[in-house]
Amino acid sequence: MIRIERDPAWWTAVASHPAVIDTLHGMPPEDIGDVAARPDVLAFATANGGFLVAPLDALGFARDMHVMYRPEGWGREAAFAFAEVLEALFWGGCQVVNVYEVETNAKSRPPRTSGFIQAGDWRGTPFGRLRLWTLTQRNWFASLARRRLCRLSS
């Protein structure tokens, strides 16, 4: 279901969608395409969006995940891709994944059934008020979401 997608034009098209562009907080959609083309970023995609995963350390133990989907991909497509990406990351040696929840975007909160833990309180940033959530390899492997999504996808 997921694939590596490095084409900046494809990511720019997703970021330019009217339901997505407002979540960029003024960042030009072309910048998302540039990020996806970086060799250190894992750019996982499905039909309607995907995940940009950047390293946070030189050893690949910690990753920063950003999710972007057009409305056609919300729900089942994004949920199954999410599980597939986490499996790839954690079986590939990653030990912790960070995501940011945007206060004005309810869809940005990671599912608690996946084992994410809120790391702190809301904080003002150039991208709006954010808070950090973390997911360890151990929490993902023990999560209800993993048991459900991985069983249903096989």
Can you list the pairs that 55-60 forms with residues at least 24 positions away whose Cβ atoms lie under 8 Å? 56/98, 60/92, 60/93, 60/94
Question: What pLDDT is stored for residue 154 in this prediction?
Answer: 53
Q: Which helix (H) or strand (E) holds 136?
A: strand 128-136
pLDDT tens profile 133-147: 999 999 999 999 999
Task: Over range 51-59, report the average pLDDT.
Answer: 96
Per-domain residue ranges for the chain? 3-153
Task: Over range 106-118, report the average pLDDT.
Answer: 93
Answer yes or no: is pLDDT of 27 > 90.
no
The CA distance from 54 to 128, in Å, is 20
CATH architecture of the domain with range 3-153: 3-Layer(aba) Sandwich (3.40)
pLDDT tens profile 34-54: 999 999 999 999 999 999 999
